């Protein structure tokens, strides 16, 4: 079967790239021909440009010069993500820059799959983008979602009609959180709760995929999107109690960390979690991989309120994780 998936695959964070890889990899292992639609609407591109065309004012140039070190750092970091996608994600040869391009030249497939990650988060622009609701391609093609996430307990009121209408396009819907089942029911739809794609691949495969750059120090790993004081306090408390060094991975250097991994590939991200003595994070996928590798973890609520994803994830009984994985796989071809 020829399958095309679509997700927020171009976001510059580890979870986005690894869940994209995991779903495509699992489907390939089932014998399918898989492509990930390289969809990059303007709000999802996020590339850092170090140099700019002439025409800026002296004040603007001065601001850019002051920002240059940060821009160079981010550009270097993004190279690791771009190289990962080129090497491991089966992207379509064509890049689709808009929904109009996708509608007029959609790749042919026997099945379209939307998901996973926060593709239906209506607090972000992707949550009301028809592309992530599979509004393209021939109408005869079967359409499903896999582990799609609304990321919140409620849809933005202004988006209710849009979401309700676009979900009618799907032949089957699966979502990542139990809270999303309730949202679907409120809109008149039935859904299946499944696990994030990273759980589709076994621990042993992720261990082999991780690199070997991490040394044998005993350390606590911080994966913090928000430079959160709560994360810092918890990390320092646990590190002191267990005599651990503090490592950090992310796009910012944390002053309290003994070592910061700012320029790190997804494979290094996996290795850092795998070998950690403890993880402190406000990240869904950081928590997910700690569960996969059997690493003790502490989850800190995010200040932006996107916590329902982690809360639902932590409701999983680790003793019955294999059963959840089996049910999730049954939803896919």
CATH number of 236's domain: 3.40.50.2000
Contact 260, 248 (CB under 8 A): yes
- Chain mean position to CA 199: 13
> Burial, 18: exposed, middle or buried (Cβ in 10 Å; 0-12, 13-18, 19+)?
buried
> Burial, 274: exposed, middle or buried (Cβ in 10 Å; 0-12, 13-18, 19+)?
buried
- Structure-block tokens of residue 115: 């998901």
DSSP annotation of 283:
-
* Beta strand pairing call for 111-114 and 192-193: unpaired
The Cα 30–Cα 190 span in angstroms is 26
Q: Are residues 8 and 113 in the same domain?
A: yes
Q: Are residues 182 and 213 in the same domain?
A: no
Across the range 233-245, mean pLDDT stands at 97
Q: Are residues 177 and 220 in the same domain?
A: no
Q: Are residues 25 and 166 in the same domain?
A: yes
Q: Is residue 191 part of a domain?
A: yes
Q: What is the residue-wise DSSP string for 213-247?
A: ---S--EEEEE-SS--HHHHHHHHHHHHHHT-EEE
DSSP bridge pairs for 278: 220
Confidence of residue 69 (pLDDT cuts 50, 70, 90): low
Q: Are residues 125 and 8 in the same domain?
A: yes
pLDDT digits (tens, 9 = 90+) for 252-286: 899 999 999 999 999 999 999 999 999 999 998 99
- Structure-block tokens of residue 179: 């809270």
Q: Are residues 183 and 42 in the same domain?
A: yes
Across the range 3-10, mean pLDDT stands at 96
Q: Is residue 63 part of a domain?
A: no
| Of the residues 172, 195, 218, the one at which a domain ends | 195
Q: Is residue 65 part of a domain?
A: no
Which residues form the domain of 294? 207-315
Give residue 54's pLDDT. Answer: 45
Give residue 252's pLDDT. Answer: 87
Q: Is residue 92 part of a domain?
A: yes
The Cα 41–Cα 95 span in angstroms is 10
Q: Is residue 19 part of a domain?
A: yes
Give residue 226's pLDDT. Answer: 84
Residue count of the chain, please give it.
Answer: 333
List CB contacts of 289: < 8 A, sequence separation 6 or more: 18, 198, 206, 270, 273, 274, 295
* Helix, coil or strand: residue 179: helix
In this structure, of 39-53, 162-176, 272-286, the range with the lowest mean pLDDT score is 39-53
Give residue 53's pLDDT. Answer: 43
Number of domains in the chain: 2
pLDDT at 61 over 50: no
| Of the residues 195, 229, 254, the one at which a domain ends | 195
- Chain mean position to CA 191: 21
The mean predicted confidence, pLDDT, of the chain is 89
Q: Are residues 100 and 234 in the same domain?
A: no
Q: Are residues 303 and 213 in the same domain?
A: yes
The Cα 325–Cα 329 span in angstroms is 6
pLDDT at 142 over 80: yes
pLDDT digits (tens, 9 = 90+) for 84-111: 999 999 999 999 999 999 999 999 999 9
Q: Are residues 178 and 292 in the same domain?
A: no
Closest CA to 45 of 81, 90, 87: 81
- Buried (b) or exposed (e) across 252-269, using 16+ Cβ within 10 A? eebeebebbbbebbbbbb
Q: Is residue 325 part of a domain?
A: no
Q: Are residues 172 and 27 in the same domain?
A: yes
Across the range 287-313, mean pLDDT stands at 78
pLDDT digits (tens, 9 = 90+) for 177-231: 988 999 999 999 999 999 999 999 999 999 999 998 887 789 999 999 888 999 9
Q: Is residue 269 part of a domain?
A: yes
pLDDT at 57 over 60: no
Q: What is the residue-wise DSSP string for 259-273?
A: EEE-S--HHHHHHHH
| Of the residues 174, 195, 216, the one at which a domain ends | 195
Across the range 66-92, mean pLDDT stands at 82
Confidence of residue 160 (pLDDT cuts 50, 70, 90): very high
Q: Is residue 132 part of a domain?
A: yes
Domain with residue 113: its CATH number is 3.40.50.11930
Closest CA to 170 of 196, 198, 190: 190
Q: Are residues 257 and 124 in the same domain?
A: no
Q: Are residues 185 and 39 in the same domain?
A: yes
């Amino acid at each position: 079967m020829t399958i095309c998936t679509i997700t927020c695959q171009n976001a510059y964070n580890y979870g986005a790239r690894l869940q994209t890889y995991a779903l495509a990899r699992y489907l390939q292992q089932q014998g399918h021909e898989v492509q990930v639609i390289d969809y990059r609407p303007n709000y999802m591109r996020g590339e850092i440009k170090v140099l700019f065309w002439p025409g800026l004012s002296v004040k603007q140039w001065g601001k850019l010069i002051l920002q240059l070190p940060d821009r160079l750092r981010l550009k270097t970091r993004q190279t690791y993500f771009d190289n990962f996608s080129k090497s491991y994600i089966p992207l379509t040869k064509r890049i689709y820059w808009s929904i109009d391009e996708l509608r007029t030249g959609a790749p042919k497939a026997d099945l379209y799959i939307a998901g996973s990650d926060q593709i239906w988060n209506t607090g972000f622009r992707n949550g009301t983008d028809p592309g992530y609701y599979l509004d393209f391609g021939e109408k005869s093609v079967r359409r499903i979602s896999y582990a799609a996430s609304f990321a919140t307990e409620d849809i933005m009121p202004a988006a209710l009609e849009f979401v309700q209408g676009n979900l009618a396009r799907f032949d089957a819907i699966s979502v990542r959180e139990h809270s999303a089942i309730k949202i679907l029911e409120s809109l008149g739809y039935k859904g299946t709760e499944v696990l994030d794609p990273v759980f589709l691949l076994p621990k042993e495969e992720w261990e082999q995929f991780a690199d070997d750059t991490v040394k044998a120090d005993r350390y606590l790993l911080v994966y913090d999107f928000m430079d959160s004081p709560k994360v810092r306090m918890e990390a320092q408390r646990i590190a002191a109690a267990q005599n651990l060094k503090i490592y950090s991975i992310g796009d910012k250097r944390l002053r309290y960390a003994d070592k910061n991994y700012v320029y790190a590939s997804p494979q290094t991200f996996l290795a850092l979690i795998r070998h950690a003595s403890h993880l402190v994070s406000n990240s869904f996928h950081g928590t997910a991989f700690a569960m996969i590798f059997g690493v003790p973890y502490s989850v800190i609520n995010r200040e932006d309120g996107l916590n329902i994803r982690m809360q639902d994830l932590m409701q999983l009984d680790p003793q019955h994780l294999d059963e959840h994985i089996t049910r999730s796989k049954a939803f896919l071809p």
